[in-house]
Chains A and B, each alone.
Chain A
Amino acid sequence: QKEVEQNSGPLSVPEGAIASLNCTYSDRGSQSFFWYRQYSGKSPELIMSIYSNGDKEDGRFTAQLNKASQYVSLLIRDSQPSDSATYLCAIGGTSYGKLTFGQGTILTVHP
Chain B
Amino acid sequence: DTEVTQTPKHLVMGMTNKKSLKCEQHMGHRAMYWYKQKAKKPPELMFVYSYEKLSINESVPSRFSPECPNSSLLNLHLHALQPEDSALYLCASSQTRIIGGDSNQPQHFGDGTRLSIL
Task: List residues of chain A with CB under 8 Å of any chain B CB.
Answer: 31-32, 34, 36, 42-46, 49, 51, 88, 90, 92, 94-99, 101-104
What residues on A are CB-neighbors of B107 within 8 Å?
Answer: 34, 46, 90, 99
What residues on B are CB-neighbors of A99 within 8 Å?
Answer: 45, 104, 107
B76 at the interface (CB under 8 A from A): no
- Shortest CB–CB separation between residue A65 and chain B, in angstroms? 12
Interface of B is mostly: loop
Most buried by A among B42, B105, B106: B42
Task: List residues of chain B with CB under 8 Å of any chain A CB.
Answer: 2, 31, 33, 41-43, 45, 48, 50, 55-56, 88, 90, 97, 102-112
- Do residues B43 and A51 form an inter-chain contact, with CB atoms below 8 A? no
Question: Which residue in chain A gives the minimum CB-CB distance to B42?
Answer: A101
- Do residues B97 and A101 form an inter-chain contact, with CB atoms below 8 A? no
Instruction: Give the distance in Å from the alpha carbon of A31 to the alpha carbon of B109 in the complex.
Output: 20
Question: Which residue in chain B gives the minimum CB-CB distance to A104?
Answer: B42
Most buried by B among A94, A95, A98, A102: A98
- Enumerate the 8 nearest inter-chain pairs by beta-carbon distance, A residue then B residue, closest first: A92-B104, A101-B42, A32-B104, A97-B48, A31-B103, A43-B109, A32-B103, A43-B112
Instruction: Give the distance in Å from the alpha carbon of A95 to the alpha carbon of B57 in the complex.
Output: 13
Most buried by B among A44, A45, A97: A97
- Do residues A96 and B104 form an inter-chain contact, with CB atoms below 8 A? yes
- Shortest CB–CB separation between residue B21 and chain A, in angstroms? 13
- Do residues A31 and B106 form an inter-chain contact, with CB atoms below 8 A? no
